[in-house]
């Protein structure tokens, strides 16, 4: 048996065999999905176990996801549009990280601020404010400030 040093390939641990890349690809292609395969659902569930989002799901959502995963294992792929839409929402919540939550909330707050500033003429006397509302660092800070403000 050839070792990893002799073959020239880096040795990949068993817990890192494509699950993160599979889950990341799944998260990126959430909109307009035409189905889920068993491998994609399994990768999403493993990632949700690791990041703790599996416990945040309600019991009926977990049951629906497990039933869908069993059906996908039998059929190979889930293509029913209503089921795919419901599972896509669950998978999105399963794969969500704190950074994606902060960015999503920051984008929502920035859209509200952009409407407010455009109505009040702020962009006329401060044109760089529009580019600031598109800066990822500022959007993350804005999302963090909205979460902190809700906690108070």
Are residues 109 and 68 both part of a single domain?
A: no
Are residues 86 and 132 both part of a single domain?
A: no
Are residues 74 and 131 both part of a single domain?
A: no
Are residues 106 and 131 both part of a single domain?
A: yes
Q: Which domain holds residue 52?
A: 14-96
| Spatial CA neighbour of 88 closest among 144, 36, 140, 142 | 36
Instruction: Pick the last residue of a domain from 96, 124, 141.
Output: 96
HSE of 30 in the Cβ direction (CA atoms, 13 Å)? Answer: 17
Domain count, the chain: 2
3-class secondary structure, 37: strand
Distance CA 32, CA 99 (A): 23
Are residues 18 and 59 both part of a single domain?
A: yes
Interior angle at CA 46, CA 42 and CA 47, nearest 5: 115
- Return mean pLDDT, the chain: 82
Distance CA 57, CA 80 (A): 22
Can you read off the two tokens belonging to residue 85? 């839409």
CB atoms within 10 A of CB 110: 19
% the chain with pLDDT above 90: 49
Residue pLDDT, tens place only, 34-93: 789 999 999 999 999 999 999 999 999 999 999 999 999 999 899 998 999 899 999 989
Are residues 30 and 104 both part of a single domain?
A: no
Are residues 89 and 124 both part of a single domain?
A: no
Token look-up 């407010």 returns 116
Position 15 confidence tier, pLDDT thresholds 50, 70, 90: very low
pLDDT of residue 94: 92
Quote the pTM value: 0.62
């Amino acid at each position: 048996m050839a070792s990893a040093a002799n073959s020239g390939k880096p040795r990949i641990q068993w817990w890192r065999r494509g699950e993160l890349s599979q889950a990341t690809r799944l998260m990126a292609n959430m909109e307009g999905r035409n189905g889920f395969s068993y491998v994609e659902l399994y990768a999403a569930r493993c990632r949700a176990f690791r990041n703790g989002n599996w416990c945040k799901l309600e019991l009926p959502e977990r049951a629906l996801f497990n039933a869908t995963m069993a059906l996908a294992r039998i059929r190979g792929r889930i293509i029913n549009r209503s089921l795919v839409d419901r599972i896509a929402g669950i998978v999105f919540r399963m794969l969500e990280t704190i950074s994606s939550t902060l960015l999503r909330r920051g984008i929502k707050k920035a859209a509200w601020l952009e409407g407010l500033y455009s109505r009040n003429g702020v962009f006329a006397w401060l044109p760089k404010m529009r580019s600031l509302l598109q800066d990822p660092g500022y959007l993350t800070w804005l999302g963090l400030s909205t979460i902190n403000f809700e906690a108070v």
